[in-house]
Structure 1
Amino acid sequence: MTAIEKYNEEKQDVKSQRKIRILSSAFDLFSEKGIDFIAITDIAKKAEIGVASIYRYYETKDQIAINTAVWAWNERSTRLLPVISGEAFENKTGFEKLRTIFEVFNDLFEKDRAFLRFIYFFDSYVFRQDITKENFDDYEESIKFIQDKILDSIDKGIEDKTIKCPEGFTDRELYYTIMHSLFSMVQKLSLSENLLSMNAEVSAQKQIKLLIEMLLNSIKP
């Protein structure tokens, strides 16, 4: 490697690390207070970087929000990879694979509620800002890893007869219905678990586990 090549590589590493610091800082702020109430100056302060430097990478807060969402999903996918891949996972029945994936969502609630809150705030922000779909290619790609794993599990379960898709519905319709139900619950509980005193009557973890059992029982043959 020449001196110029080495310099360029180091420069690229610095740029990548700076981007990660920006997105990580934005994630912390967005997940705590929502996206609307955070200014680019707030992100710059937390990232300990000049505002002008942020504008070199992202021209608007919309771009920061979308790139933060991509970064957040990719980070979680990397952590989940050992759990939902490999020979042990692939040797499970479709039903067992789906249970394993569902338990990951219970884990997310217990250990990573900031992520669940961020996705809720992100969805709300995107809706209000009316951001065009053309800006979401990278975001959809970051979610596709999880979607493919769940769809593969459902399809394997239908094939090995451990999962029954309700008559008149497709595997994708089953996927979206199940995941919207589960994800909506863990998001809501991550935001409002302790909001009302009555919420303390039943633990959030038990509610999630109960919903998982209800969803799984509903697709047993």
Structure 2
Amino acid sequence: MRNLERDAIAEAKRRQAFLEHGFALFSSKSIEGISLQDVAKASGYGIATLYRYYSTKARFAVEIAKWQWGEFFKENRKRRPSDNFEGMTAADMFDFYLDTFLELYRKNHALLRFNQYLNVYIRSESVDADTVELYRAQMKPITDFFHLLYERGRQDGTIRTDIPEEEILSTTIHLMLAAVTRYAVGLVYQPERGFDAQKELGALKELLFSKYAVP
């Protein structure tokens, strides 16, 4: 039993080393420009060991995404005033939802860069449908939370439920995630006197809040 436990600990250590070094390399350069051999070398293990756990670069990259998004959502849950947002209106929850994207920008530039590179990689390579679906599933905590706040909005009337849930969700995810990603990657206009990224992102949040919250 002790040998089995030791083997399990060693295996978990190897997997974590691959994930951490893969994330560091993929988020700093690109996914196309980094080989699994590069990851194995940086991790201190052989390429055969990496292939034992991850059969393709796409599946490996998605596993990194699963790990990193999971860590972010775990930390973001700590900002919740309570597990089920007791005493909060749907508008309060909507504000928290929008601020989640700002929190992502404030603390996770590397994840935003990695996610952008992964989007490009998936669209440029022949990635199998199962791997793509696994990648899309990373947003489930956000979509589940949005459904919860939308249903509360049906009850308290503090957000617009005359607009379909899917439309508001799609619009806000695309605009907020695209914006924080562009700022994190640096694909933004650079005025001569500089700019305040968080202030500008906050303005976008306020615009979306005013559009969908009920005064």
Counterpart selection for 2:206 from 208, 213, 217: 213
Match of 1:184 in 2: 178
Distance in 1 of aligned mates of 2:86 and 2:41: 45
CA contact (8 A) 2:179 2:201 kept: yes
Distance in 1 of aligned mates of 2:203 and 2:133: 34
Match of 1:203 in 2: 196
TM-score, reference length from structure 2? 0.90
Q: Shift of the alpha carbon at 1:141?
A: 3.3
TM-score, reference length from structure 1? 0.88
Computed over aligned residues only, the root mean square deviation of the Cα atoms, in angstroms, reads 2.0
Q: Name the aligned partner's letter for residue 32 of structure 2.
A: D
CA contact (8 A) 1:157 1:163 kept: yes
Counterpart selection for 1:74 from 42, 52, 70: 70
Q: Shift of the alpha carbon at 1:188?
A: 0.7
Match of 2:49 in 1: 53
Match of 1:83 in 2: 79
Distance in 2 of aligned mates of 1:12 and 1:172: 42
Q: Which runs of 5+ in 1 are unaligned?
A: none
Task: Please state whether the residue corresponding to 1:90 is helix, strand or coil.
Answer: coil
Distance in 1 of aligned mates of 2:184 and 2:156: 35
Q: Shift of the alpha carbon at 1:199?
A: 7.1
Counterpart selection for 1:146 from 138, 142, 146: 142
After TM superposition, the structure 1 = structure 2 runs for residues 95-174 of structure 1, keeping only pairs within 5 Å, are 95-165=91-161, 167=162, 169-174=163-168
**Number of corresponding residues:** 214
Q: Which runs of 5+ in 2 are unaligned?
A: none
Q: Shift of the alpha carbon at 1:79?
A: 1.3
Q: Which moved more, 1:88-97 or 1:108-117?
A: 88-97
Q: Name the aligned partner's letter for residue 173 of structure 1.
A: E
Distance in 2 of aligned mates of 1:159 and 1:142: 28
Distance in 1 of aligned mates of 2:114 and 2:61: 10
Distance 1:159 1:113, change over 3 A: same
Distance in 1 of aligned mates of 2:41 and 2:190: 36
Q: Which moved more, 1:46-55 or 1:130-139?
A: 130-139
Q: Shift of the alpha carbon at 1:135?
A: 1.9
Q: Shift of the alpha carbon at 1:7?
A: 2.3
Percent of matched pairs sharing the same residue: 26
Distance in 1 of aligned mates of 2:83 and 2:65: 30
Distance 1:216 1:199, change over 3 A: farther
